[in-house]
Structure 1
């Protein structure tokens, strides 16, 4: 991959907007690293009704991710709201369809990180982040968290973990990230981009 075409894919699913907001801050962190750009993509919702089919291009927001966009990224930051301590079904459904990429080994040795949002403080943030790492490990990716050299990890009263950025929407269902959460998103995006820059030379 030529250096001018290197990008970190920020791939997320969001239902109420908080995870999308995190993705935007992570992408800003990616853009702070010279020679790496961000690519923001999402996945369509899924339905138990077989006749329900989404348009190829969503009416608003980020475009849907293709397998080629995932395959050709220099790094990946994967985000999902928490669903019973795990990633949301639409994101899992997308990843389940990437066996061709797994067979090719195209993601091997590329850096990856994960992020999440929950409606309650102990709503499964860490278990969601950890389980999101599993398919990435199967792809041979190099998992990157947020190191404790980021001082916000020691002072946060909202979201933020060493496993990846997180957001606590609280019982008021606020979607706006706190300053600390925004900073940790920027830190994570920048870190994955820096690793992508080193590993893709």
Structure 2
């Protein structure tokens, strides 16, 4: 049996959400757990368009088995009109077999996002990602205000989950945003470890 891991599953178009995912993974590893970075394929309105089985760069595509067997889940997406991006929604829509089997019940989860504008629908995007996780019976974990960055940030960072404001110039995440990502990953891993000890 493999050792427990946190699945850091994201979709990223321009790289900001991927950077957040990498720092959440660092936080997971700081707490002493393995982090598995995974992504989902892009989708197209052209039905004939397909993606290669293995991405040319970046994280591998997530399998249903990796999702089913994770000890916890960090789910990330850029904002799309105040909602998660279609490729991530498409992937989640295909997880009904995991819902039927109850594979994700009582596992901890968190969400994170990136937007172009300061008021670009970050909180509704985070909430939109929480909904299917609640249906799967997962235990949602936000960012508590004991994280100092939530009091000082002038860009991303919410109690609903880590976030980033890229702006039109595609500004990279700042240190406060990245610190909050690491804190979120660490908290998720600590919760997963505690839940495993309790139910192990």
What range is the shorter-chain TM-score in? over 0.9
| 1:181 partnered with 2:177 | yes
For 2:188, which of 167, 185, 192 is the aligned residue?
A: 192
Aligned partner of 1:170 in structure 2 is 167
Aligned partner of 1:29 in structure 2 is 27
Q: What is the 5 A alignment of 1:1-201?
A: 5-34=3-32, 36-174=33-171, 176-201=172-197
Distance, in Å, in 1 between the alignment partners of 2:168 and 2:100 is 43
Distance, in Å, in 2 between the alignment partners of 1:99 and 1:171 is 37
Where do 5+ consecutive residues of structure 2 fail to align? none
Distance, in Å, in 1 between the alignment partners of 2:3 and 2:123 is 33
Where do 5+ consecutive residues of structure 1 fail to align? none
Misfit runs of 4+, over 2 Å? none
Deviation at 1:42, TM superposition (A): 0.1
Deviation at 1:173, TM superposition (A): 2.0
SS in 2 for 1:78: strand
RMSD of aligned residue pairs (Cα, Å) = 0.8
- TM-score normalised by structure 2 residue count: 0.97
- TM-score normalised by structure 1 residue count: 0.96
Aligned residues: 197
Distance, in Å, in 1 between the alignment partners of 2:186 and 2:60 is 22
The superposition leaves residues 94-136 of structure 1 with CA deviations (integer Å, 9 ceiling, x where unpaired) of 0000000000001000000000000000000000001110000
Deviation at 1:200, TM superposition (A): 1.6
Closer, same or farther: CA 8–48 of 1 in aligned 2, 3 Å: same
